[in-house]
Structures are given as C-alpha cells and as structure tokens.
Amino acid sequence: MKQNSRYLGAIIISPLIIFLFLGGVYLKALVLIMSLIGMNEFFNIMKNKNINPLKYFAFATCIIYYVFNLSLGNLFYILMLLLFILLCIPVIDTKYNFIDIAVTFLGLLYVGVLFSFIPQLYTKDYGSLLIWIIFISSWLCDTTAYYTGRFFGKRKLCPKVSPKKTIEGSIGGLLGSAIACGLYGIFLTRYIPNIAIYHYFIIGAICGVFCQFGDLFASSVKRFVGVKDYSNLIPGHGGILDRFDSILFASMVTYYYVTFILGI
C-alpha cells in the first residue's frame, strides 16, 4: 500500500518535467508556487515548538522577487529591507520575538531563494540544457544512495539526524550523481562544445555531497520539531520540502558552478 502511494505521488509531481521543457514564465510560475507551498510547510511545522513566523511577510517578499524578476544582487537590498522591518516587529507587537524573526528570514532564504536558482539557471546561455543537471544529480543521488545503503550499508552516517542513512549509501549517492551527470555531459558535448566533460563529473560529485546535506538538513528540522513529514501534500512522499530537499541544495551548487567556475 505504501509503495502504491509512492507511485501515485510520483505521478502527481511528474508534470514538473513538462515545465522544465517549457521554461520561461511557465517554469518561474511553477517554482514560485512551489516556493510558497514549501515556505508554508516550513512555517507551519515550527508551530510545534511555539515558534510564530511572520509568514505573510515572507510570502510577499518572495512574490515580489519572482514577479518583478529581480536579480540576485537586487534581492540583497530587498532582504535587508525585510530584515529591517522584521526587527521592528517585536517592539510593536510583543507576541513576536527574535526567534520568530529569525525563522521567518530563514524560511524565505532556505525555500524561496534556493528554489529561485532553478529559473535563474534556465535564463543563462544553454540554461535549458544545464538545468537538467540539478534534477539528474538529485534523483540519481537519492536513488543510488538508497539502494547502495539497502544492500551494502553497515556503518551509520548521521544516526542522530537520520538513523537509516549509512556511509556506504552516502558514497553510492555521490558516485551515482557524479557518473550520471558525467554521462549527461558526454551527451551535451554536441550542443555545448565549449564545456569540458570533466566539469560535469565535478558538478555531479559536488551535488552528490550537498544533495545529501540538503536531505539531512530537512531531516534535522523535522526531528527538531517532532514531525515525520513536512506535510501530506504528495502521497507517499510527504510535502514539497520532503521531495525537493536535495534539489534545493543542488540548484544552488549548479548555479554557482556554472556562474563562477564556467563563467556562463
């Protein structure tokens, strides 16, 4: 029954692939919706610890960022303005405190901004091709880590954060991501001849590391507040943040590598 629900959940989120092909305003709109849902999940579970984020401030900032197509540089000024306003709130309304402010800011950065690297990458030269690295690395890292850990895992990786994850599974995930991205890079040479193949293996390896950090961070948050999943939005998968936790980290890694190492 559980396996069937996971298949149903996979079918529900599969239209994402269509939006990756469409790109442009369609992809941005989808990612904005996912960002808002993800932030709402993040803020809602914080209530288990009596934390009361100002989520509508975060929602409004996220919408402004996406709708007005602000650059990452301009985002800095928006974030500083938001922080400035938020720091005044506990003085005006004492039911809020500095922890509420910090969690509000973290939720916007963790979900809204990290998700935004997906459409940001798409707008670059060859972005419609390079964007697939984010998903290939994440999906293959998760899959190979799971099966490697299942069949060969013996030594625990982070038992206090995620008891089922093993060192062997982690290594399998890293290799799976690196090899998959490398093979995809070989395919891309006919379309992007000016990027050496070894870069794809490197991006895949780095994503293979940080996809797992993304997964473990999400687990640490859920363990802290005492929930199994962020929500039950996607059958068998949990919420948006349960399914896209590693993709959030992979999107930033890929964007930064393409921007600062490859210079695109």
- Min mean pLDDT across 9-13, 15-19, 105-109 is at 9-13
pLDDT at 6: 47
pLDDT of 58 > 80? The answer is yes
What is the arithmetic mean of pLDDT over 55-81?
Answer: 86
Query: Which two three-digit tokens encode residue 101?
Result: 């402010």
At residue 1 the predicted structure's pLDDT band, cuts being 50, 70 and 90, is very low
At residue 167 the predicted structure's pLDDT band, cuts being 50, 70 and 90, is very high
Q: Decide: 107 and 39 in contact? Cβ < 8 Å.
A: yes
Domain of residue 127 covers: 2-261
At residue 230 the predicted structure's pLDDT band, cuts being 50, 70 and 90, is very high
- What residue type is 176 in one-letter code? G
How many C-beta atoms lie closer than 10 Å to residue 66's C-beta? 20
How many residues comprise the chain? Answer: 264
What is the arithmetic mean of pLDDT over 144-173?
Answer: 89
Max CA pair span of the chain: 61
Number of structural domains in the chain: 1
Torsion angle (degrees, nearest 10) of CA 241, 14, 204, 71: -60
pLDDT at 3: 45
- What residue type is 213 in one-letter code? F
Report helix angle 72-92 to 55-67, nearest 10: 160
Cα 109 from chain centroid (whole Å): 11
d(CA 29, CA 62): 12
